[in-house]
Structure 1
Amino acid sequence: MPVNVEQIPGLNTLGISLARIDFGSYGLNPPHTHPRATEILVVLEGTLYVGFVTSNLNPGNRLFTKVLHAGDVFVFPQGLIHFQFNPEKTNAIAFAGLSSQNPGVITIANAVFGSTPPISVDVLTKAFQVDKNVVEYLQKQFWWDNNN
């Protein structure tokens, strides 16, 4: 559940937001970015496999990951693609603090395959080097944050 300037107008100009994330077994917060904030994640309960990918700069697109347990902390730099995954059968709970009262969120699959109107199949086929049927299949999916 996010807490930002939209839920609490008093956060305006304070430069902070907070989110509690409850993960069911094998729950996923899919690859996404926060264009206006760095995120710090604290695991309260359970285990999370987390990571982020560096930008395209040399040496680009490097993946940094870590398995976190209760009490562990991880930082996701502003604007970088990152994710959290619960690899266990038990639930996990985490709190995320963000360095903006309006951090924004761009879920990668939603943006690429769920845009309105859709991105041209020809563009996505060439960009991902996959068959047209794969792109059309992905565009028909219902994309959401599936934490549980």
Structure 2
Amino acid sequence: MKAFYFLVALLALSSSVAFAHDPNPLQDFCVAINDTKVFVNGRLCKDPKLVNANDFFFQGLGPGNTSNPIGSIVTPVWVNQLPGLNTLGVSVARIDFAPKGLNPPHNHPRSSELLIVLEGTLYAGFVSSNQDNNRLFAKVLKKGDIFVFPTGLIHFQLNVGHGGAVAIAAFGSQFPGITTIGNTVFGSNPSISLEVLTKAFHVDEDIIKYLQKQPWFNNT
């Protein structure tokens, strides 16, 4: 019986590890289609006989418009933009920065991120969880540098160079998701209770009301 319970525990652990991120595909490809009548954890598959090269092709990952309040823009190439990514467990995004542009503190709930700087100089970092005493891990990154942000941890990038900057982000999910901290806390609909926010941030109601009135920008 001990051997039996050990085997069950081992199988459970193996399953939890295998499905920590997007599950592995069981076929060559599963090109995503939209179906508003059916909801699944992922996307439904196009008939394989109807799949063609365009389902695996994305054109125009060019410069994004950074003329917005934060001076950066993310151009995602996730499953919504490239249906052929469905079930493959990978995706990318391009991030353009104006001088002093910021990709605000945010996280990706379903994926880690590997950031590659193509042009410019970025100050980038992430903060560990409460269990690790919220330590900041940050570096100044230059052209050709790579930095990794672990799954679910809050991270950011700031352009500290004299000109624009460009980076490519690679993800271990077809749809990593994004939660921008300021937008979520102060721009929720409906608004979070003033009592909650004043106690959480140790400030008075006027500051919270001011922050809630700001036009929080979603750059993806």
Give the TM-score, by structure 2 length. Answer: 0.65
SS of residue in 1 equivalent to 2:200:
helix
SS of residue in 2 equivalent to 1:134:
helix
Matching residue of 1:12: 86
Which structure is higher in RCO with an 8 Å CA cutoff and minimum separation 6?
Answer: 1
Give CA-to-partner distance per residue, 1:31-57, whole Å, 9 cap, x none: 000000000000000000000000110
Among 140, 148, 152, which residue is 1:75 paired with?
A: 148
Following the alignment from structure 1 to structure 2, what is the Cα–Cα distance between the partners of residues 144 and 100?
24
Question: What amino acid is aligned across from residue 36 of structure 1 in structure 2?
Answer: R
CA shift for structure 1 position 144: 1.4
Using the TM superposition, name which of 59-68 and 76-85 deviates more.
59-68
Is the contact between residue 47 and residue 92 of structure 1 (CA under 8 Å) also seen in structure 2? yes
- Equivalent residues in 2 for 1:120-139, closer than 5 Å: 120-139=193-212
Structure having the higher strand fraction is 1
- Equivalent residues in 2 for 1:84-103, closer than 5 Å: 84-103=157-176
Is the contact between residue 28 and residue 145 of structure 1 (CA under 8 Å) also seen in structure 2? no
Number of matched residues? 145
Runs of 4 or more consecutive aligned structure 1 residues displaced over 2 Å after TM superposition: none
Question: What amino acid is aligned across from residue 81 of structure 1 in structure 2?
Answer: I
Give me the identity figure in percent: 63
Note the residue ranges of structure 1 that are not aligned, 5 or more in a row. Answer: none
CA shift for structure 1 position 60: 1.5
Matching residue of 2:216: 143
Matching residue of 2:187: 114
Structure having the higher helix fraction is 2
Matching residue of 1:47: 121
Note the residue ranges of structure 2 that are not aligned, 5 or more in a row. Answer: 1-74
Is the contact between residue 44 and residue 93 of structure 1 (CA under 8 Å) also seen in structure 2? yes
CA shift for structure 1 position 88: 2.2
Following the alignment from structure 2 to structure 1, what is the Cα–Cα distance between the partners of residues 169 and 129?
22
Matching residue of 2:101: 27
Following the alignment from structure 2 to structure 1, what is the Cα–Cα distance between the partners of residues 205 and 162?
36
CA shift for structure 1 position 77: 0.2
CA shift for structure 1 position 145: 4.8
Following the alignment from structure 1 to structure 2, what is the Cα–Cα distance between the partners of residues 32 and 134?
21
Q: Quote the RMSD (CA, aligned, Å).
A: 0.9
Is the contact between residue 121 and residue 140 of structure 2 (CA under 8 Å) also seen in structure 1? yes
Is the contact between residue 22 and residue 93 of structure 1 (CA under 8 Å) also seen in structure 2? yes
